[in-house]
Amino acid sequence: MREWRQGDCSLGEHWFVHRIDPDGPVTTAAREAAALGVDLVEKPVAGVVVLTQTCDIVRSCGERPYVEVAPLVEVDEARLHEVERGRRPGYAFVPGVADRQLVADLDRVMTLEKPVVAGWTRVSGCSSDDAARRFAWALARKRSRFAYPDDFTRFAGKLQDRLKKKHDKGSDEGRALAGLDEIRVQASPSWNAEQVELMFWFIRGPDDPEFESETWPDLLERWLGLVPGANRFGPVYGQICSLDDLSATDLRCSDLLDLDLLSLAK
């Protein structure tokens, strides 16, 4: 296991296992298993990716005998691009298998003993420090996503729909959204307050498009127009900025939005 790293993959014939309740199956695979009277689902996947931190992978089996893996699933080019940009927190981008349009499905995790993994052919998943850092960040974000209040979910619905509709379109708005690294929102004094002041930061990435000087303010006005103050939310402010414009306090006290951003099922 000394050569294995977090984010490394194994391709080919792999089977992914999860336990079910035969009396209450909720997926197609579970219903098929329940019909056979079994409580384990074992399905073929295109491959698996290692989630365990590198420092634990390389330690002895006596100290750390287990490795966690997630299945690799095939997605279309549009979804692959969204995952690469960090817009789909249920998935993680793995550069080493991106040419096959495979991504890590973080909703499913399986634990194996290290000798199983040691018998696989290793495919490097992250060939640079930056790629490894981004993969680790995707894993951390999956577990640390903020659960927005339900009334904020309804409040921000029009903005969410607009971002999804216009993202990656050929218009100025679509190119602007594709060039954003993050969208963050801060609630003051807190999300549970009777009256909440909101601040939206639309954070431009290093490859954001160059527009006429009036284009960004116009876009900001359009986006904020979809979240006018209502009920306990308001006033609402916003800013187009770079990551360098935010303080450490701004980052710590704000929460990330994404295309899967809101917690209430629609």
Is residue 176 within 8 A of residue 203, CB to CB? The reply is no
Q: How far apart are CA 152 and CA 120, in angstroms?
A: 46
Is residue 72 within 8 A of residue 104, CB to CB? The reply is yes
The pLDDT, as a whole number, for residue 260 is 57
208, 194: one domain: yes
Residue ending a domain, choose from 144, 161, 187: 144
The pLDDT, as a whole number, for residue 189 is 95
Domain count within the chain: 2
Paired tokens of 233:
């939310």
Q: How far apart are CA 259 and CA 91, in angstroms?
A: 12
Per-position b or e across 48-70, b if 16+ CB within 10 A of its CB: bbbbbeeeebeeeeeebeebbbb
154: CB partners within 8 A, 6+ apart: 264
The pLDDT, as a whole number, for residue 168 is 65
The pLDDT, as a whole number, for residue 235 is 93
The pLDDT, as a whole number, for residue 146 is 82
Residues of the chain with pLDDT under 50: 261-266
* In a domain? residue 4: no
The pLDDT, as a whole number, for residue 265 is 31
* In a domain? residue 233: yes
73, 132: one domain: yes
The pLDDT, as a whole number, for residue 263 is 36
* In a domain? residue 266: no
Residue ending a domain, choose from 114, 144, 174: 144
* In a domain? residue 262: no
The pLDDT, as a whole number, for residue 196 is 96
Q: Taking the model in full, what pTM does it have?
A: 0.74
Q: Which domain holds residue 107?
A: 9-144
Residue ending a domain, choose from 144, 162, 180: 144
The pLDDT, as a whole number, for residue 211 is 66
132, 71: one domain: yes
Q: How far apart are CA 144 and CA 237, in angstroms?
A: 25
φ, ψ of residue 246 in degrees (nearest 5): -95, 140
DSSP 8-class letter at 22: T
The pLDDT, as a whole number, for residue 86 is 80
127, 158: one domain: no
Q: What is the pLDDT of residues 122-173, one digit of tens each?
A: 999 999 999 999 999 999 988 887 888 989 988 998 998 888 888 767 788 8
117, 168: one domain: no
* In a domain? residue 263: no
* In a domain? residue 2: no
The pLDDT, as a whole number, for residue 24 is 95
φ, ψ of residue 148 in degrees (nearest 5): -70, 145
